[in-house]
Structure 1
């Protein structure tokens, strides 16, 4: 497990302007696509044209991500620079884990399938557009979620959802990465059966016992808007969004999947949703053992109890000002949702 970066004991770098700071870019050059092979030359060319210094920190293996991110933070802190994560939500999460509390600015070049973190903050999915933002915009505070001190920028969950993610990765290894593959894997997971969790939830000083197939905690307003849940504005106001399903059968789960795809999940009677800043979860059947969870698409095991909370400090993300265009459209038109991590 990657430990979060601790607040630095040194003086933080001069705030200065994000649009003038050197860039320290963490990326995976062996992701396997021609687009990834083009990333390093594109970043170097864009920085040279803008008169900006950049250093590239390639990651040869996923296990090396934390080390590369820590090195990027060290260099950026010394130079008053910006740490940049180039990758999908999982890679961005891993770099953010080290940046949080360091005093460094944070930038992203989205390279994944869904790119929810970048999209909710108005960062374009194409490399040239994301580079324009990175090289021209200033850093602004964005909210971070914590699960037992582990960062999550998009969502964290337990129960059925981590299993869905594992099945999706198995499908992607055989069929490639696409939204259609992710949707098909989700249907397969729901049809294969599930069991409900018996949880004790402590919220605002009160405990209650619940039975649910999954507990999902969202920190991404765009994702909430696209599936039709009203907690997007609560996330904007500094809260996390809790979502639980009542115990239901396979047919009802498929119906809920369809509702989410059409942005109508909040209208379903089987869905419980609420906003919070801190939530503690225990499971009597598990005692003090570990339980499987997912954070920003990565599945791992964590010890109980689980503590979901808003981080006391934000990430300083280089992003365009104001509400992202995609969020304005989702908020105003009730557009179709996407079932994704």
Structure 2
């Protein structure tokens, strides 16, 4: 559905707030809830006299096609591409915003909403729409693994499996943080294999065995799991890597609980954890042949990618509409040293 007040005389330039919004609304939560969200969005935007076009993504696997079409329209009109959904939806739509060079807005509707919360975007839908109307464009960092971008995190090993089982449990028991927590506990306590990794960082090789290799691009998530130094590195144009070295499932459970209670102790001080920051890294999984593909989770979505994996910070940045009134603290200090801190690596072997 589209609404264009005075469209014949509309002149658009960014960040002019007369610029139209091209909104992709994910219908994954069900018809009734989608209809309610659509009503709220349209009521606020019409009340503000804001030109917009709202497209419902249904079925969910049409998201890439819909987002690409809306991005082309937004780029041609000097408008804003807006994602309404969880972190996976935001990721898919953001990729098209970057590809087509248009500004990007977010209306968070997921379970955790790490990306939105980090950038001070309200989780309440009506408040988020109002915040979008008063937002200003700010460039934000984007991570890449192979050819896929991520705004929150990317990972291999146990974490992608956890995400797949979590989605299955949510489909059966409903979408809530409690269901997500119990699903994660069940996955961690089930049998799982450790990965044998060869990491190439700044030309140097390091070997690592771990159940999961996690790369973060979200300050709030790093702070919540109790690794403040890595959250600071994200403000310096780097990505954050975390890999547990513990062998047993109960050791993994301890790390999970320790991270969940991060304010009671810093996770980066745990003896069984490797943490470091970087701008570019190659990760090769030694347990798989060179031609095999491996499961990689990016912002909650699991896909197959070629081995080895290349993680890096994208040169282009995402032109995000951020609220003028902050709901999260601002960080960043360009004077910090750019050399990465590496903790917990075993001796490198060729």
Post-superposition shift, 1:18? 4.7
Whether the aligned pair in 2 keeps the contact of 1:18 and 1:318 (CA below 8 Å) is no
Unmatched tracts of structure 1, length 5 or more: 1-12, 329-341
What pairs with 1:158-173 in structure 2 (closer than 5 Å)? Answer: 158-173=156-171
What corresponds to 1:252 in structure 2? 251
Change (3 A) 1:18 1:205: farther
Question: Secondary structure of 1:215's partner?
Answer: strand
Alignment TM-score, normalising by the size of structure 2: 0.86
Question: Secondary structure of 1:26's partner?
Answer: strand
What pairs with 1:1-341 in structure 2 (closer than 5 Å)? Answer: 15-29=13-27, 31-32=29-30, 34-230=32-228, 231-263=230-262, 264-288=266-290, 289-321=292-324, 324-325=327-328
Larger Rg: 2
Change (3 A) 1:273 1:322: farther
CA deviation string 1:145-175 (max 9, x = no partner): 1010101111000011111111111211111
Whether the aligned pair in 2 keeps the contact of 1:222 and 1:232 (CA below 8 Å) is yes
Whether the aligned pair in 2 keeps the contact of 1:73 and 1:99 (CA below 8 Å) is yes
Unmatched tracts of structure 2, length 5 or more: 1-10, 332-350
Find the aligned partners of 1:321 and 1:243 in 2 and give their Cα distance: 32
Q: Give the number of aligned pairs.
A: 316
Whether the aligned pair in 2 keeps the contact of 1:18 and 1:137 (CA below 8 Å) is no
Post-superposition shift, 1:34? 3.7
Question: Secondary structure of 1:101's partner?
Answer: helix
Alpha-carbon RMSD: 1.8
Whether the aligned pair in 2 keeps the contact of 1:18 and 1:139 (CA below 8 Å) is no
Whether the aligned pair in 2 keeps the contact of 1:119 and 1:326 (CA below 8 Å) is no
Whether the aligned pair in 2 keeps the contact of 1:292 and 1:300 (CA below 8 Å) is yes
Question: Secondary structure of 2:122's partner?
Answer: coil
Find the aligned partners of 2:324 and 2:94 in 1 and give their Cα distance: 20
Deviates more, 1:261-270 or 1:29-38: 29-38
Question: Secondary structure of 1:21's partner?
Answer: coil
CA deviation string 1:225-249 (max 9, x = no partner): 0110121111111110000111321
